């Protein structure tokens, strides 16, 4: 099943991965030893099985060895994780992503064959820091150690103005590289406008995709938050 993603071990992290992948259009093969966890996700993914991940015959039978990608979530059973990763790597599963708790676990599991390790608690902490240091932030994509693209709701006082007129590059040393525009009609999907025309007026509901260094983005989002607070005060 090369078009399936195997999600092995339904930790909280892997449950969310499985549901997210399925909603994004991927076919998910979920496996866990717990009947309750499998039952909770069974109707939300393409296939779900209850079984011991140490059982190689079972893994072969349900098609795990044929998947090109696997995500493993056994953070409290590292010894079993090592066995599963060894199984996956010997069956030429191309991408093996493993949830781990420590740097030592990451180093060890990569030696066995994991292609990527993930620290969910670390990621959650980093996201919390970003939300606290970049107020009003919707999303963020890091492009280097000190630069990122962030998504920010269009402030009310930007509506009707053009990017050329706002001149955010001059004021804040940031660049608007795209817009996410909400649908005009019911049933339509939002669309992304890359490199938006400088003369085009911004609309209510637009989301700005802004590129800049971390420090400049922080200053920009702080100023946008102050603008929103001022607008809220006037509305009252």
pLDDT at 5: 95
Q: Is residue 127 part of a domain?
A: no
- CA dist 12 and 35 (Å) reads 15
Task: Verify that 74 and 143 share a domain, yes or no.
Answer: no
Q: Which residue, 8, 20, 4, is CA-closest to 73?
A: 8
Cβ(136)–Cβ(228) below 8 Å = yes
Enter the tokens of residue 193.
Answer: 């406008």
Task: Verify that 83 and 184 share a domain, yes or no.
Answer: no
Enter the tokens of residue 216.
Answer: 């400049």
Task: Verify that 76 and 149 share a domain, yes or no.
Answer: no
Q: Is residue 29 part of a domain?
A: yes
pLDDT at 183: 84
Q: Is residue 124 part of a domain?
A: no
Domain boundary among 118, 151, 172: 118
Q: Is residue 61 part of a domain?
A: yes
β-pairing verdict for 95-99 and 27-32: unpaired
Cα→Cα distances 214→56, 123, 134, 149, Å: 47, 17, 9, 9
pLDDT at 132: 57
Q: Print the domain residue range for 102.
A: 4-118
Per-residue pLDDT of the chain (236 residues; tens, 9 = 90+): 557 999 999 998 899 899 989 888 899 999 999 999 999 999 999 999 999 999 999 999 999 999 999 999 998 899 999 999 999 999 999 999 999 988 899 999 999 999 999 887 766 566 555 555 555 555 666 667 778 888 888 888 899 999 999 999 999 999 999 999 988 777 778 889 999 999 989 999 999 999 998 889 888 888 888 777 776 655 55
Domain boundary among 118, 147, 168: 118
Q: Is residue 128 part of a domain?
A: no
Edge-to-edge strands of the sheet including 95-99? 47-50, 27-32, 4-8, 69-72, 95-99, 116-118
* Model confidence, pTM: 0.59
Domain boundary among 88, 118, 148: 118
Task: Verify that 49 and 140 share a domain, yes or no.
Answer: no
Q: What are phi and psi of 2, to 5 degrees?
A: -65, -20
β-pairing verdict for 147-153 and 207-213: antiparallel
Task: Verify that 12 and 93 share a domain, yes or no.
Answer: yes
- CA dist 38 and 27 (Å) reads 16
pLDDT at 137: 54
**Percent helix, strand, coil in the chain (nearest 5)?**
45, 25, 30
- CA dist 55 and 194 (Å) reads 48
Task: Verify that 79 and 104 share a domain, yes or no.
Answer: yes
Enter the tokens of residue 88.
Answer: 């996956």
Q: Is residue 125 part of a domain?
A: no
Task: Verify that 81 and 161 share a domain, yes or no.
Answer: no
Enter the tokens of residue 211.
Answer: 């590129």
Q: Is residue 123 part of a domain?
A: no
Residue 191 belongs to domain with CATH number: 3.30.70.1450
Cα→Cα distances 17→12, 45, 48, 106, 109, Å: 9, 11, 14, 19, 20
Residue 12 belongs to domain with CATH number: 3.40.50.720
């Amino acid at each position: 099943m090369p078009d399936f993603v195997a999600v092995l071990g339904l930790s909280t992290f892997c449950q969310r991965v499985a549901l997210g992948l399925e909603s994004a259009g991927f076919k998910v093969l979920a496996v866990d030893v717990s009947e309750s966890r499998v039952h909770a996700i069974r109707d939300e993914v393409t296939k779900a099985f209850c079984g011991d991940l140490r059982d190689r015959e079972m893994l072969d039978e349900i098609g795990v060895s044929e998947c090109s990608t696997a995500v493993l979530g056994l953070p409290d059973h590292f010894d079993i994780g090592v066995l599963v990763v060894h199984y996956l790597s010997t069956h030429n599963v191309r991408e093996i992503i493993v949830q781990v708790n420590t740097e030592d676990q990451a180093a060890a599991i990569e030696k066995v064959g994991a292609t990527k390790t993930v620290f969910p608690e670390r990621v959650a902490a980093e996201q919390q820091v970003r939300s606290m240091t970049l107020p009003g932030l919707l999303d963020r994509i890091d492009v280097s150690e000190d630069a990122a693209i962030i998504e920010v709701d269009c402030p009310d006082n930007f509506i009707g103005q053009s990017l050329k007129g706002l001149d955010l590059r001059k004021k804040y040393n940031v660049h608007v590289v795209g817009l996410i525009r909400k649908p005009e009609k019911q049933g339509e999907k939002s669309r992304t406008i890359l490199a938006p025309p400088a003369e085009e007026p911004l609309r209510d509901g637009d989301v700005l995709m802004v590129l800049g260094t971390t420090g400049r983005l922080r200053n920009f989002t702080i100023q946008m938050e102050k603008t929103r607070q001022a607008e809220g005060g006037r509305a009252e």
